Chains A and B, each alone.
Chain A
Amino acid sequence: MMMKFLPPRLRMPAQMLVVGTIGTVFGVIAWGSAALVTILPFTLIVAAWYYALGGRDSDLSAMVLGRGDERQEYRRLRMQALMGQVMSLAVGVTFIIAVATKTTSWPFAVLVPLPILSLVVGGLIYREHHDGQEQQVGR
């Protein structure tokens, strides 16, 4: 989301507020005013947390603000990799539970192949040319 006109510290909180407000509107349409007392306070707390984090001199705040150096970026990638692994595992376990309890399992037709598909796409996007090929002297 483009929020370049805002100071860096306000960008993530503003994004959270926009997404949360949209979520609240959809929530109100779907479930009525109950969404106002669940989604909206949660959105405000998360936005405030992001803002507070932005004022700190820490790895986490640098990552949240998108100003991380190489170590912080490496750390963020490892965190995202862990999140991906946990999510993949969670999808697999939930699928097994859904099949065992004979509940709705059609969403898993999309979710189960997604981790493998994203792994293949990632391999294609980040592939290196001449991968595994021996280069001759002088080339």
Chain B
Amino acid sequence: MRNRIREQRVQRELSQAELAIALGVSRQTVISIENGRYLPSLPLAFRIARFFDLTVDKMFDPDDEETGP
């Protein structure tokens, strides 16, 4: 599953550590989600989407099935 976290984070000039603090997760988890190695839970997916003022389906693209938790 592809996501737009890296793109949105870079647009807002945020570091992975800053985003991690804002989302209440570790920096390693932000890295894993960005790289598609970890699929976040539904509550975390909503937190991410809300943080970037986007909807979950705009943030995550289910059509690309190359990764999973």
- How far, in angstroms, from A72 to B40 measured CA to CA in the complex? 11
| Binary contact readout A52-68 vs B (1 if CB under 8 angstroms, 0 otherwise) | 00000111001000001
Q: Report how far A71 CA is from B25 CA in the complex, Å.
A: 9
Compute how far the CA of A115 lies from the CA of B38 in the bound complex, rounded to whole angstroms: 30
Interface size of A as a range: 10 to 19
Q: Is A70 an interface residue (CB 8 A)?
A: yes
Q: Would you call B69 and A70 a contact (CB within 8 A)?
A: no
Residues in A neighbouring B44, C-beta threshold 8 A: 70
List, in ascending order, chain B residues with CB within 8 A of A59's CB: 26, 28
For A62, the chain B residues whose CB sits under 8 A away are 26, 28
Contact B40 A70 (CB under 8 A): yes
B69 and A74: CB pair below 8 A? yes
B9 in the interface (beta carbon within 8 A): no
Q: How far is the CA of A72 from the CA of B29 in the complex (A)?
A: 8
Complex CA–CA separation, A70 to B38 (angstroms): 10
Q: How far is the CA of A132 from the CA of B66 in the complex (A)?
A: 30
Closest Cβ of chain A to B33, distance in Å, is 8
Kindly provide the distance from the CB of B47 to the nearest chain A CB, expressed in whole angstroms.
11
What residues of A have a CB within 8 angstroms of the CB of B28 in the complex? Answer: 57-59, 62, 71-72
Q: How far is the CA of A107 from the CA of B64 in the complex (A)?
A: 52
Chain A residues closer than 8 Å to B69, beta-carbon distance: 74
Give the chain B neighbours of A58 by CB distance below 8 A: 28
Binding site for B on A (CB under 8 A): 57-59, 62, 68-72, 74
Q: Which 8 A-B pairs have the closest CB atoms?
A: A69-B25, A71-B29, A71-B38, A69-B26, A69-B29, A59-B28, A70-B41, A62-B26
